[in-house]
Structure 1
Amino acid sequence: MTHCGSYARSFPTLCYVSKEKRTMINPLSASIAVEIKGVLAITNYKLNYTNLETQPVEAIYHFALPRAASLMACHVVVDHRSFTAEVMSRKDAAREYEEAIEEERRTVLVESLNDGLYAINIGNLDSQESIEIELQIAQILQATDLGKVLTYRLPTTIAPRYGTGSNDIEPEYYLFAQYPFHAEIHSEEPIVITHASHNIVAGDKKQTFSGLLDKDIFCSWSANAQEHYHAGTCAGKSYLLGYPSPSSNHTTGACQPDTEFHVLIDRSGSMSGQSIALTKVALNSLLEEIPEAVRINLSSFGCDVETLLPASSELSGDIRKRLRQCIACMNADMGGTEIVKALVASLKTLPESQETKHLIVITDGQVNINREELAAITLLSHKRNVIIHTVGVGYSVNEHLINQLADIAGGNSIAVNPHGELVATVKSFGHSLLGSIPFGSIQWQQSPDWLSVNKRYYPNSPQPVFATGEELAGAQDSSIAMGEKRTEEGKWAKAVVQLAAMRHMMNLGQGEAQQLAEQLGMLTRYTSFIMVDKTGEKINAEHRSMMVIPQSVGCCMESEIASYMPLTHSLNANIDYLDIPAFLRRDTNEGWHAESLLIKELDKLLWRPSKWTANYLLKKGLGTETVEQLKAIAESFEVALHVVALLYIYKLASYHSLSMSIKTQERILKEIGQLDDALEFRVAQLVEGDFAKS
């Protein structure tokens, strides 16, 4: 165990010291190979994990993907043997994984979670055994600056998010986790990288760099994103994608001028450092682009919301001066990320009218929003005819959130490198919103069976188009044009098809979407990758332990943590207005170690009822007398032991006010169902007895 003052973590040691060489050994490392072709990228992301524990483990590692990305394939190397994971329905893959776990066979399950997260489940990896998992990822590059700049982005860490997520298995975090990587970028055409998240050794068609998996990988270069569009056929399906551009027929008169803006700035603690500093520069640049006739307002948020003006005002000299003064005083000092409150407050300052209005949100998105909150924001934005645009800034942007908000009414969503293109992006982004073309007014030479475009086209800020078929061109009198067609083959055709199909599935029912995903061999919310080693020796997994491989704390967060408090400082966990990651908050369940461990397992880990045997409860530290009484109650009422144990934990938490999330409570109540009153009374008596002893 690793202990940091009063902050005890239940992770196995993550950095091991070799006695022979006195060097640090990291259990996780990565190698990344990226290929660039036009606006497409294919990444081969190899994760190497070694079980340095003394017993077999079942481990879970979380990762994120860019929104315009698809997981094309998964290959596994274990015990010097190679496997290719199969695509199955989510339910069938989970069943195979569980059966492999019980049969003590090595297995890997890759699945999509909610909130834009993915999980790699590694089952029955023996002590000192290594495994290599290679993910092949296709993505469409992000175009900015009038389509003249392309950006590659690969999330490598998931920052702690403010609020409660919707996943049973949430990422864990560890301050001292350091996972090294080496990366190469190969391009079909020579590129010159202008901005990057890491120090790059540049070549003609090959760029190399290395570092730690503690911040997202960004790199940008000059290119013409609208020169070509890509078409491909795979598994009997034909799709295309690309960035359109204004045609020679496009005039400013074709645009609909929009003259009301509200800018909402995230000033929570996680925005400190370069993020807030460059945001201030970007806002001042934005003010230079907006003419005086435009009405504007500015709000900031953290745990509360501050709005500069009662209502939007024309950008006169006095208002411009007040805005600059407000921007100059901005710091990331407003605590937690209460983004829902801020969005509602900002939307309510905008009038109910038919005129289109824009709300530009600049945030790192390190927050969770539930469906009900998103529905309320959607209703309010539609009522006031507001389009929400989001700029995600930072090295671990929650891209899932910023895209959800932008999708409400066809807004733009851009994730940017704070050291690179933030200022230029915000400047051109704001300028482009001064005029847009409704996509419904755009004519095509031949309408495809299915077409995915933003509800509005912003000529200065291109968004990709996805469609079925092999040809797409605007009509002669259309305001936009497509570039030259590039027909892809092999893995590039597969990339085109899967990327477009990911968008297509958003318009399909579950049955059709699942059938399409299985046909194309893609991982989606309906399908998973599964690998089971049915040929090698079985693993003696009687004493198997479960663990979450924690995320490395982001490089920018380390300085933020230092500014919060000393590492050994105690903090009242009920104080949630500070934007402090959960791993720094004091555990309020002190004195109930075994029960707290069981609660944490229910809350965080992949939990199976069959694992809660008497031996397992004893191993977790539950008293021998308590376990024997739980067994007696289970036998007396002919119910499973885990049901009685869950009821015991639930009632004990109520008696002693142990902290337990709503998610855990719901899981327990669902599992135990309707029980006999006499059984509940027996368990309550046991709890009262244990409570009196304490």
Structure 2
Amino acid sequence: MGCTCSQPQQARSQARRHRPEYAIVDSNSCGLIMKKGHRVHLKSVEVEVQVKGYVATVTSTLQYVNEEELPVEALFVLPLPAEAALCHFSTKIADQEVVAEVHDKQKVQEIYADALRSGQQTFFWGETQESPGVFRLAVGNLPPKESTAVTLIYVIELAVQADDGLRFCLPSVLNPQCASTNIVACTCKVPYTLSLGIHITSSIPVSRVVSSCSLEPLIYLNTAQTQAKVSLSPGHKFNRDVEMLLYYKDAHQPTAIVEAGLPNAKQGSLMGDSLVMLSLSPEFPEEVVSSFGERGEFILVMDQSGSMAGSLMRNAKETLLLLLKSLPLGCYFNIYGFGSDFKSFFRKSVAYTQKTMEKAAEKVQAMEADMVGTEILKPLKHIYKQDHLPDHPKQVFLFTDGDVKNTKEILDLVRTHSRSHRCFTFGIGQFAGTALITGMAREGRGFAQFITSKDRLQLKVMQSLSFALQPAVVDISVKWTLPEGMSVTTLSPPLNVLFQGQRALLYAQLTGESSGSDEGTVTVHYSLEGQPVRNQFTFCLKAAEDTGLGIHRLAARSLIQSLEMEHREKKDESLREKVVELSVQSGVSSSFTAFLAVHKGSGQPVKGPLVRDAIPASYLEYDEEYDSDPGHQGKPCELYIPSSWHSPVCEYSVRASASPHCPAQREPYLDLVSLQKAAGNWDLEAKLFDVLGKTEQELAKQKPLQVDSAVWATVLALIWLHGFRTPEQEEWKFIAMKATSWIRSQKVENLSECVQAGNAVLGCRVEEEHLTYICPRHCHYYH
């Protein structure tokens, strides 16, 4: 994890002299905090979630009480998910209510400067130019024994899981004892209560809701089962993240949901008109999946900055080796390492053969965390400039444990090339930048994974590889047919490609009123494996009474992001004005706006401690030589973001406090993996004997007659994997598929005898079918 900022020491020292008291957030400073990092006691958390199709509006109300004998000056601190759109924040102490409202950042800064000149202190918060930050609001003086209510509302698209479930997570970040840990659940006592209710509305029936936490029974609110509610069972201690998975029937059916605008908003404006959200998730016929012939060009990009030293780099190298061995025959690949500069294993991508695989494996073993800084933009530009290989779509796998200052520039680059490639990202450790990791995957139509201390990087990578080895639909177009008197304006950028297992949400604005019918029609055209596909369905134009405006706000955010990108390209000030107008109108912040805390009713800015959202690099005790020292022991973190949110620390790097040199044992099956050939087989050699725990004589004695030694070695390796490494099967399944395919190609006549002999010598009971079955979804890659 490298830092790309570098300020002169004099500037850093000067900035530290003016550092605000509340600027630094340590491992216990989330929630409502006082000076010196002490917390105001949290008494209850009430959460209401409104789900519309694939969008959730989350309203959280937190009740605090000052149990001190004197008034306290308090600050609310909370990281938000990078993909969430915050649209409301308020606090209420007795009759005094403070509301954060969106304003043009230039005007807010003028108010801020005027307040400073007049001796007042004013708060504002807004998105930085590089990365989203941590939300902070000075709530003022809290009298003794007085309570305060903090309410925040954000909107978020629910992530789709591999089994079509929609994941909602309420992190345990507010638990003071759990906030500073990386464990899934802690055993500490939680001195407050939690209530959580979810109301679901969809155009297709709700199937079920499951959770690792105890839930009340799902209640359907209509006979069509398109409306339902569920709640957390009373007594939940909130000592772990609350995760829920929502399932719809006919999950791949396209849907369209209409949401009414604000009654008092201007007609013709985005917030005044109704919006429609179209959901697309094509279902791929099995024959298409099994006959998919595109192999892919796999580009593996690994962070080699100093903070990756020790166990992180060791784990990353083992993962690269596993990924390298799992690639399908016939593909192309290359591997890049980056820090402040970058280098590639090959001048350009090469065909996947035994020779190139062995050469790459040797280079992987030689990789070290010896490259200063974290500069991702340079290697990406180089990768995108390379010629495209016909019938081999580019698949980029990027690994990093850090964050960067130029996140938006990187996302713009990935978005520009989204039609010709797919991007899978892996954030290693709690300080990997969420905006960077999730943003690159989102813009690159890939998948983002975060790996904390309890996760296995190998498993996460194999999950993404499984996702990557899927076909896609291209040339997607959408046509709307509405009754006379109504028109539609598309708000989302064009959708170029959609892979199996992905879902796309498209937003459009409805203008005018229907003269008759209450139904509209959507026609979706796309190409799948060169064949045109047409899908048409009708939807109801009548919006539900309870809007929640979640669709409006996510649509606004989508449009804001597109306009911001266009502004950066064209430098057109009229585009900036459009962004500000839309941001203020929708209450969704942008790079040109900020939240200004005002007293409700008076409209006057809040007076209080000076607090900015983004902590300048000068506030961090940063050592510019840090990443050049692979053996560093790390520095204590001055800014902490609980890993359960997977939030960026800030746009600058913050150091991990753990030593990178903790001991770790190599997984035995990784030794087995390293011995596999590119074609999928193993050779009967001394290193294999060591892994299997048998001597050459023992294996030779059990070997059936007239069986090739490579076949015997491969059967033994597969039996060992199935017999002793079943828990890691998701990690080595592609290794096994290649081996099974190779065995099939050898047309072994006495395979049953081989399996029986292998079981006998290894002491296993693996069925022959386990060594001959290949998942149809992936079999075309390993024939």
2-structure distance, mates of 1:454, 1:584? 44
2-structure distance, mates of 1:577, 1:35? 47
2-structure distance, mates of 1:550, 1:238? 35
Task: Determine the structure 2 residue equivalent to 1:42.
Answer: 57
Amino acid at match of 1:412: G
2-structure distance, mates of 1:471, 1:416? 39
Aligned counterpart for 1:232 among listed residues 259, 284, 287: 259
1:268-287 equivalences in 2 (<5 Å): none
Task: Determine the structure 2 residue equivalent to 1:607.
Answer: none
Contact preservation (8 Å) 1:245, 1:482: no
Amino acid at match of 1:191: V
Contact preservation (8 Å) 2:507, 2:555: yes
Task: Determine the structure 1 residue equivalent to 2:585.
Answer: 519
Q: Could you list the per-position Cα deviations for residues 518-552 of structure 1 after superposition, in whole angstroms to 9, with x for gaps in the alignment?
A: 3334333344444433789x9998xx75467999x
Question: Residues 464 and 330 of structure 1: is their aligned pair in 2 closer, same or farther, counting only changes over 3 Å?
Answer: farther
Matched, 1:186 2:186: no
Larger deviation, residues 517-526 vs 301-310: 301-310
Amino acid at match of 2:331: V
Unmatched runs of 5 consecutive residues or more in structure 1: 1-6, 17-23, 159-172, 195-199, 552-569, 587-602, 605-694
Aligned residues: 527
Deviation of the 1:293 alpha carbon: 0.9
Question: Residues 34 and 257 of structure 1: is their aligned pair in 2 closer, same or farther, counting only changes over 3 Å?
Answer: farther
| RMSD, matched Cα | 5.8
Question: Residues 122 and 152 of structure 1: is their aligned pair in 2 closer, same or farther, counting only changes over 3 Å?
Answer: same
Task: Determine the structure 2 residue equivalent to 1:474.
Answer: 524
Contact preservation (8 Å) 1:230, 1:485: yes
Question: Residues 80 and 246 of structure 1: is their aligned pair in 2 closer, same or farther, counting only changes over 3 Å?
Answer: same
1:334-483 equivalences in 2 (<5 Å): 338-340=374-376, 343-344=379-380, 347=383, 350-351=386-387, 357-363=393-399, 366-370=402-406, 374=410, 387-392=422-427, 394-395=429-430, 397-406=432-441, 410-416=444-450, 426-427=461-462, 429-434=464-469, 437=472, 439-442=474-477, 444=479, 446=481, 449-450=489-490, 451-469=492-510, 472-475=522-525, 479=533, 481=535
Task: Determine the structure 1 residue equivalent to 2:331.
Answer: 294
Amino acid at match of 2:394: H
2-structure distance, mates of 1:185, 1:275? 37
Contact preservation (8 Å) 1:126, 1:539: no
Aligned counterpart for 2:164 among listed residues 144, 148, 151: 148
1:106-255 equivalences in 2 (<5 Å): 109-114=124-129, 115-117=131-133, 119-122=135-138, 124-125=140-141, 131-145=148-162, 148-153=164-169, 185-187=196-198, 188=200, 190-193=208-211, 200-204=213-217, 205-207=230-232, 226-227=252-253, 228-235=255-262, 236-246=272-282, 251=288
Deviation of the 1:501 alpha carbon: 2.0
Aligned counterpart for 1:498 among listed residues 553, 578, 581: 553
Task: Determine the structure 2 residue equivalent to 1:63.
Answer: 79
Task: Determine the structure 1 residue equivalent to 2:626.
Answer: 575
Identity %: 14
Q: SS of 1:516's equivalent? A: helix
Deviation of the 1:360 alpha carbon: 2.3
Deviation of the 1:61 alpha carbon: 4.0
Task: Determine the structure 1 residue equivalent to 2:45.
Answer: 31
Q: TM-score, normalised by structure 1?
A: 0.58
Contact preservation (8 Å) 2:123, 2:609: no
Question: Residues 443 and 202 of structure 1: is their aligned pair in 2 closer, same or farther, counting only changes over 3 Å?
Answer: closer
1-structure distance, mates of 2:256, 2:322? 32
Task: Determine the structure 1 residue equivalent to 2:87.
Answer: 72
Contact preservation (8 Å) 2:256, 2:276: yes
1-structure distance, mates of 2:314, 2:231? 32
2-structure distance, mates of 1:422, 1:34? 34
Q: SS of 2:550's equivalent? A: helix
Q: SS of 1:440's equivalent? A: strand
Q: Could you list the per-position Cα deviations for residues 206-256 of structure 1 after superposition, in whole angstroms to 9, with x for gaps in the alignment?
A: 3476668xx998665666654544331213223233541226789569989
2-structure distance, mates of 1:121, 1:529? 10
Question: Residues 539 and 222 of structure 1: is their aligned pair in 2 closer, same or farther, counting only changes over 3 Å?
Answer: closer
2-structure distance, mates of 1:10, 1:96? 19
Contact preservation (8 Å) 2:337, 2:344: yes
1-structure distance, mates of 2:430, 2:407? 26
2-structure distance, mates of 1:448, 1:581? 58
Contact preservation (8 Å) 1:263, 1:360: yes
Larger deviation, residues 498-507 vs 341-350: 341-350
Q: SS of 2:330's equivalent? A: coil
1-structure distance, mates of 2:465, 2:580? 39
Deviation of the 1:262 alpha carbon: 0.9
2-structure distance, mates of 1:232, 1:512? 23
Q: Could you list the per-position Cα deviations for residues 294-346 of structure 1 after superposition, in whole angstroms to 9, with x for gaps in the alignment?
A: 1123344557757555543333456557767887x699956765242773597
Q: Could you list the per-position Cα deviations for residues 625-657 of structure 1 after superposition, in whole angstroms to 9, with x for gaps in the alignment?
A: xxxxxxxxxxxxxxxxxxxxxxxxxxxxxxxxx
Unmatched runs of 5 consecutive residues or more in structure 2: 1-15, 30-36, 182-187, 201-205, 218-229, 263-271, 482-486, 511-519, 564-574, 616-620, 639-651, 654-783
Q: Could you list the per-position Cα deviations for residues 129-153 of structure 1 after superposition, in whole angstroms to 9, with x for gaps in the alignment?
A: 87543110111111132x6132335
Q: SS of 2:626's equivalent? A: coil
2-structure distance, mates of 1:540, 1:489? 37
1:629-640 equivalences in 2 (<5 Å): none
Question: Residues 33 and 475 of structure 1: is their aligned pair in 2 closer, same or farther, counting only changes over 3 Å?
Answer: same
Q: TM-score, normalised by structure 2?
A: 0.52
1-structure distance, mates of 2:355, 2:246? 39
1-structure distance, mates of 2:466, 2:414? 25
Q: SS of 2:160's equivalent? A: strand
Matched, 1:259 2:296: yes
Question: Residues 427 and 117 of structure 1: is their aligned pair in 2 closer, same or farther, counting only changes over 3 Å?
Answer: same
Larger deviation, residues 232-241 vs 253-262: 253-262
2-structure distance, mates of 1:452, 1:296? 31
Question: Residues 319 and 371 of structure 1: is their aligned pair in 2 closer, same or farther, counting only changes over 3 Å?
Answer: closer
Q: Could you list the per-position Cα deviations for residues 332-382 of structure 1 after superposition, in whole angstroms to 9, with x for gaps in the alignment?
A: 956765242773597289556677652423435631143897499669x96
2-structure distance, mates of 1:539, 1:53? 28
1:521-600 equivalences in 2 (<5 Å): 521-533=587-599, 546=610, 574-577=625-628, 584=636
Question: Residues 517 and 233 of structure 1: is their aligned pair in 2 closer, same or farther, counting only changes over 3 Å?
Answer: farther
Question: Residues 253 and 345 of structure 1: is their aligned pair in 2 closer, same or farther, counting only changes over 3 Å?
Answer: same
Deviation of the 1:581 alpha carbon: 11
Contact preservation (8 Å) 2:306, 2:627: no
2-structure distance, mates of 1:148, 1:389? 19
Greater C-alpha radius of gyration? 2
Contact preservation (8 Å) 2:423, 2:445: yes
Question: Residues 325 and 463 of structure 1: is their aligned pair in 2 closer, same or farther, counting only changes over 3 Å?
Answer: farther
Deviation of the 1:263 alpha carbon: 1.6
